[in-house]
Structure 1
Amino acid sequence: MMKTVPVNIEHHAYKVYLDKGLRFRLGELLKNSLDEQPSSIFIVTDSTVAPLYLEDVLNGLPDDLNVTTVTIDSGEQSKSFKEYEYLLTEALKAGLDRKSVLIALGGGVVGDIAGFVAATYMRGIRFIQMPTTLLAQDSSVGGKVAINHPLGKNMIGAFQQPEAVYYDIEMLATLPEKEWRSGFAEVFKHGLILNEAFYQWLNEHVQQLPIHDQYMNELLARSIAIKAEVVSKDEREQGIRAYLNLGHTLGHAIESVSGYGTLTHGEAVVIGIVFAMKISEKHYQTDLKISDFVDWVESLGYETNIPSNLDRSKLLEAMKKDKKTEAGSIRMVLLKKVGEASVEKIDEKLILSILNEQ
């Protein structure tokens, strides 16, 4: 049975549709969720997803619709200026106009770069997210789209809300375990920052990855609802939306210094969450029971220590390029307790001392 989660952003409300087999029903979904039908469709996917699901998606579209498909290489390396320019060129060659709709069929990388193309082509055209990974349940909601720069992750981007999100849960079946780990980090992060009850539910029900089918609908609906609530209150990250970056200050630095794609985004974020918890305990003089958290995530296959080969001073420099940094001061999302987050300015010496401990 299809679930819908509303995302009520000022001037632009849309829905997340959750069900099995949505990829076969794209024409019907477009009729239900678009005010004006598209003049043409431009589907961006990647080399992993295309052989698995692109044909299913195309078969669900009306025959009389002008459809172009473009496939990029899978992996974080594709969130580059080179691929961005290539996609814009293909969009121009396809003759997309302002009534065209771009569909991002893939994980977070496809959603990010395709969404950025949609945000900037003709100063913005409509787009739809069709996430195929657990990680993308987080990134497909909220309208953050971006590409990477060698000096920092997601530093070139925009806010471009989708018209809808179609989440076919069946597509998670082909995910490798590494991708389950990458995505599940963003799920339990939602509990850590804003909803202790959800975090405890996850702790109790998720003892292995992949996640058991009987829990998937509730897990996704609850996680997406938390993200939707945050985004509806703070679309452009002026306040509480920054809490969603728990673990990301160090996580993004690890991705940047180690080379994009060495660790998955979620794996790097978990190391960053443990680090943020240690800073939180020092800053607030509190006890977050870090060892219990570490035991749980390590049982799910996560690493919790910073890779020993990464230069700590380079990590510190990369952390200074984080988007929350102000006037050179590092600001981090910390936990006062599970379910209550805050953004604080943190002294470099404390950061470096804990970096050197890990």
Structure 2
Amino acid sequence: MKTNLFNLKWGVLGIVVSLMSCVSDDLAEVGDNVDLTGPTPFYNLADISTSEFDCNDVELSANYEINFQAGSNLAVNGTQYQWSVEPAEGITLIHKDLPILKQLIEAELATVVALEEEIAKIEFRIPCEDDLDRVEVLEAEVAALEAQLALAEAAVSDETRQNVKNLEDQIAALPPATLQDRELIISFPGPGDYNVGLVVTDNLGKSETTERTVTVNQAVPTIAVPEIAEPSFEDNSLFDGTGDGRDSWRAPNNDDWSPFGAGTTVIQINSTSIEGRLPDGFQAAKFPSDGARVAYQEIDVTPGAEYVLTYFSEFDDSSFGDITVSILNPDTANYTESLLDENIVASRTDSNVGRVSDVFKQHAITFEAGENESVIIYVTNTGVESRLDSFAISVKQ
């Protein structure tokens, strides 16, 4: 019996050794499988185009630039990249680090750059202004900013100047961008469709290609943010440093715009000396409980654009009352017409139900300009004394 067990043990051991020898790397044609997986290329892109238009929306310049970054499923050494662009006429290749180095220079000269940008913004507006008084104010602002700019430039330290020079030297030393770079910026000659291909080759010599159509869109003017004058009803907040907080909100005609057909319609003002009690500043618009006062202001808008108007309201809570903020077509001529659906672009009514006296709450109205080049902000109230503050408007993206 012992002899049989001994023979069985060695028999099993022999089978195991035999099986192990079958997977030995020392045997010809036997061993690990060769990795036949090739690269799967892809690329990401980011549009970094810039453009400039004058106040009549005439294009002054446009740089149609897109940042391309290649990738693949393999993280192997020696991977090579080859870009192709069709049509290729007129394209320019830009080193990926150039915008970064330029931003670092701007960061070193942050105060100087901020003043230069503010001056440029105002100088852009001046030719667009028809109001000579406003032009005079803008020119005075430019002169004051230029004086600040001269001081800021003189205050730049030697260390900062050296840092800027070092960055400029890095820009000068950048190698030319090539179609073999993993990441590069391509400047296109103009809008249109371009076929951008990418070939990725791994360190074993295997290659794969991906290609897609990249659409470069025509530059369009930035939609201007409308200006609301005296938005928080503060004294001296007009462009020239004047105003009593109400001047920009007066209806063109008391009789036409009064809810009662006659009488004074100009809003009243509530003020406080305690900072932070109001959403903004120290004054708010007051609408007495009789509903006789209205707010009216026409603002410029861009046809086809969509906007968000925000503001804050507050109510006396002694009895029921509400306040309505409407966006009206510019040809609306009086209070009666302001109630007609065809003249109301958008409207919002808020009541004092559930509200707490002396606590302001923010609201928003979204509206489309349609074919209008201007709209009217019009406010009425009923029931109880109501207040509004801190109007603001933004372009909805």
- Normalised to the residue count of structure 2, the TM-score between the two structures is 0.21
More helix by share: 1
- Normalised to the residue count of structure 1, the TM-score between the two structures is 0.23
More strand by share: 2
